[in-house]
Amino acid sequence: MTQDWAGLPNSVTSRLPGNCKGSQVMTSTVEAFSNVLLKLHDIAEYAPIDRYQELALDTVQEILPFDTAWWGIMSPNEISFSLHGSHLHNLPNSFVPMWEELKYDDALAKAVEVKPAQTVYFDQPAFDDAPGLATLMGEHAVKQAFCTSHYLPSENAFVFLSLYREQGSPRFTVREGLLNKFLMPHLCALWESNRMRYSEQYKDRLQDESIYLAIVDRQFQIFDADNTFFDILRQEWPKLNSLTLPQAMIAQMSRETRIAEIKFSKIIARYEFIGDFCILAIRQRQRIDLLTKRELMVAQAFSTGASYKDIAKSANLSPTTIRYYLRVIYDKLNVNNKAEMATVLRNTSLSESQKTWMQSYRVIQRVSGRASGPIFSLPGK
């Protein structure tokens, strides 16, 4: 006999409404579903980008219990699948490397690839039909699974959510399968909202309207991006025609470094790895980027009213040396006087490293006051 989304026979649900037990069950389910959605909206609004998935899964547990879970992004390729994002819930880090070895036989992934927006159910007999999948599930004590996919706008990759139950846990029900199915689009939409909100806040912190952001996945493919991001990127690589970052950029990005700035001939990039993703900020190079850190601080000090002697005293250098720096600065910025230099500095966006050096200088200025003797030494190139 067919069952509806509440797990009740059609013969019963056809007699609703009224005060029957079926109506009470339905009301309770809808209310619980609604409460979970409200909590998910709050999580999307306030959670950091690397915490959204975990907090969302904790909330899903309130109406759909599971023991472990895997939530990520993958795309099909000629052989099997490429993994673009991965979040493990109560699973060891060894899960993904093992999946990479056995993914050619991932029948669950193959099933949701061709059935987007549907919840696919696998139990032990279904696992056993795919030895590679059976090995992966057996190694991690998984006896049954729900998996649902949601294709991204590019239609080249899909978000997947696999919920697992171990030996001794109740069997998944039809009702739970439908809850999972209807939750998935909300989870994906709110995840996107969370990423976009984080990007906006990140850009606000940089205080630079000339910067454009993208979120990059573990395969260095651009996941979310400002509209102008690709235009700026193509100034450095005019022939770029894919969502994958240029190899020259990838080669200089390191998870071990986590945060760094990279200078190319026409653009400057700043990256920060956060969880499984990377925030990439890029902007066009400007005249001020020609200055060394030492020259930049001399220029800033002089343009804001410090004299040759003031700068020389603070830097423990001679006024003649400061004059030499200023001649070099004028030449690099293509200006003729202090006022023109101040205008260039005022109208130009500083990179993160430049902002750091300038902030250091301002702090030193406030602390030093009229103190005698050198307070600091200007850094080298």
Nearest to 269 by CA among 257, 288, 253, 290: 253
Distance CA 107, CA 129 (A): 8
What does the pLDDT read at residue 381? 39
The residue with tokens 């959670």 is: 47
CATH 3.30.450.80 domain position(s) in the chain: 66-169
Q: List, by residue range, all CATH 1.10.10.10 domains of the chain.
A: 287-368
3-state SS, residue 78: coil
Fold of 287-368: Arc Repressor Mutant, subunit A (1.10.10)
**CATH number for the domain formed by residue range(s) 66-169:** 3.30.450.80
Residue 349, pLDDT score? 55
Q: Where in the chain is the domain with CATH 3.30.450.20?
A: 204-284
CA 156 to chain centre: 19
CB under 8 Å to 169, separation ≥6 — which residues?
65, 67, 143, 144
Closest of 164, 199, 156, 173 to residue 88, by C-alpha = 164
CA triple 137-141-145, angle to 5 deg: 55
Query: What is the fold, at CATH topology level, of the domain defined by 204-284?
Result: Beta-Lactamase (3.30.450)
**For residue 23, what pLDDT is reported?**
64
Per-residue pLDDT reduced to its tens digit, 190-206 = 999 999 999 889 888 88
pTM attached to this predicted model: 0.74
User: What's the pLDDT score for residue 367?
Assistant: 36
The Cα 366–Cα 364 span in angstroms is 5
Residues of the chain with pLDDT under 70: 1-25, 349-381
**pLDDT (tens digit per residue) in 279-296:** 999 998 887 777 788 888
pLDDT on residue 59: 98
What pLDDT score does 375 carry? 28
